[in-house]
Structure 1
């Protein structure tokens, strides 16, 4: 079974372009939405994303909405803690595909790191 984890040298979640996330106001309150929008750089990437190192320069102090934690995801998306693992993997797949592509090295690295076997996940019984 795949187990979600934040994978180093990815950064797909740091691509914050609001036009690609039209539902922001559905899961962020007005204060968090204002903070989110203040983090978006001209290129659509978070101003705290270090493209050279592919990491977050404020990771330990990142905003709450950047944290993959049961209480955050329950509040923002209505996801119960037992659903968080699969939901987080799906979110990462969608974001990595959108930013880097489905067949990208980043997607392969993510799947390897979390133990995601695409062929096994696509089997129907």
Structure 2
């Protein structure tokens, strides 16, 4: 990935992370503990999408109370990676998931890549 990709951020109208089909997520499911796996499998609809995913609005209906494994900022800790790898790991995971769900030439992937190249905003 390019050095210009400096900060992960979620993009609107994507929802690729809400595609929970266990056949596509074996590696991720393997790092979850038994309780997390129970929650995960309870969230998967027969079509492979999360039952909390609003397909019309393309957003999570439980975003503020979503499980820890749905929080991109916590992905590195689930995989026992050091905190300094958190940002690059989140970018890699989202890139891979968006590509898998929507394709390598999708508008979602292009939007995600553009968002990563935006200058970092300063607080304050």
Range of TM-score over shorter length: 0.7 to 0.9
Match of 1:15?
A: 19
Q: Could you list the per-position Cα deviations for residues 29-76 of structure 1 after superposition, in whole angstroms to 9, with x for gaps in the alignment?
A: 00000100000011100000001111000000000110122xx33431
Measure the CA separation in 1 of the matches of 2:27 and 2:116: 27
Measure the CA separation in 2 of the matches of 1:79 and 1:10: 26
Task: Select which of 64, 75, 78 maps to 1:76.
Answer: 78
Aligned pair 1:57/2:55, yes or no?
no
Partner of 1:91: helix, strand, or coil? Answer: helix
Contact persistence 2:76–2:90 (CA under 8 A): no
Q: Could you list the runs of 5+ residues in structure 2 that have no partner in the other structure?
A: 119-124
TM-score (norm 2): 0.86
TM-score (norm 1): 0.85
Q: What's the Cα RMSD here? A: 1.4
The number of equivalent residue pairs is: 114
Q: CA deviation at 1:87?
A: 0.9
Match of 2:96?
A: 94
Match of 2:107?
A: 105
Measure the CA separation in 2 of the matches of 1:111 and 1:56: 21
Match of 2:47?
A: 43
Measure the CA separation in 2 of the matches of 1:98 and 1:68: 17
Contact persistence 2:76–2:89 (CA under 8 A): no
Measure the CA separation in 2 of the matches of 1:92 and 1:22: 16
Measure the CA separation in 2 of the matches of 1:74 and 1:108: 24
